[in-house]
Structure 1
Amino acid sequence: MNVQAYVMFNGRTEEAIEFYKKAVGAEVTALMRFRDAPEAPPPGMVPENWGDKVMHSSFKIGDAEVMASDGCQSDAEGFKGISLALSVKSPDEAERVFNALAEGGEVTMPLAKTFFSSNFGTLADRFGVSWMVVTHD
């Protein structure tokens, strides 16, 4: 069994992927646009002008695969109740990825030494995705 995160970006998936490529070295493994679907979605499920939007994508961050889509609506509420946990090997790497992900976002707990890690911090990136960065040293 395997559980993977599937993140809905409500029309901003391509922008998010480009951001994650730069911030954490994401590598795209698949990308399909709504216009490429073999059958049209049911009426009203996808806005008419969404042919170029991302129907499905996947990308790797380290050994983990994250899937993403623009979803079927552009007005959904932001992310709540879930965080992506990014484990890194060194304090320097933690600082680098934390600062990159925080660009245009909001830091909710700055990177700091905790009883369980030499560096731990939390943030919401510019897309509203909640992240926890933790150093395992």
Structure 2
Amino acid sequence: MPKMNPYLNFDGTTEEAFNFYKLVFRSEFRGPINRIGDAPGCENLSEDEKKRVMHVSLPIPGGDTLMGSDIVPSMGHKLIVGNNNYISLHPESREEADRLFNELSPGGKVEMPMADMFWGDYFGSFQDKFGVQWMINYSTTH
């Protein structure tokens, strides 16, 4: 089976978002933050677009990797934030579930607070301050 990594797009806030995620997940970027202005053919872009993130990769404890980039409006890119994609995290304890929820959700919109669910797990969901949808699910039946 192929490994699957969430890849997030932003409109000029990738670096801010990933620095935030780096703190929450207590991790370090894999390699440098690659800039759009470093790519061939991007010499005529505005200074703002040149500074945008072409690619960033953040290892997440447990073996997964969160990746992201900024859109380039002058190239016809348009970001549409929606509810069609969640990142589902599966921490090892209720305490870690609460920590992740409490550190990722401020400034966002809580959809479902952390609570024991009818299916037996401890679960919550929200949209963070960058518009990314998250689910935190601690399974009590490890």
TM-score, length basis structure 1? 0.86
Q: Which runs of 5+ in 2 are unaligned?
A: none
Does the CA-based 8 Å contact 2:10-2:71 persist in structure 1? yes
What is the RMSD of the two structures over their aligned residues, measured on CA atoms? Answer: 2.1
Letter paired with 2:72: C
TM-score, length basis structure 2? 0.84
Measured in 2, the distance between the counterparts of 1:97 and 1:12 equals 21
> Who is 1:51 aligned against?
50
> Who is 2:88 aligned against?
85
1:91-130 equivalent positions in 2, closer than 5 A: 91-130=94-133
Measured in 1, the distance between the counterparts of 2:46 and 2:127 equals 27
Give the secondary-structure state (helix, strand or coil) at the position aligned to 1:35.
helix
The superposition leaves residues 19-57 of structure 1 with CA deviations (integer Å, 9 ceiling, x where unpaired) of 1122222431132011222x12497xx655311111111
Q: Percent identity?
A: 34
Q: Which runs of 5+ in 1 are unaligned?
A: none
Give the secondary-structure state (helix, strand or coil) at the position aligned to 1:49.
helix
> Who is 2:19 aligned against?
18
Measured in 2, the distance between the counterparts of 1:101 and 1:117 equals 23
Structure with the bigger RCO (C-alpha within 8 Å, sep 6+) is: 1
Does the CA-based 8 Å contact 1:47-1:72 persist in structure 2? no
Identify the structure with the greater helix proportion.
Answer: 2
- Of the structure 1 ranges 58-67 and 105-114, higher mean CA displacement relative to structure 2 is found in 58-67
**1:4 CA drift (Å):** 1.9
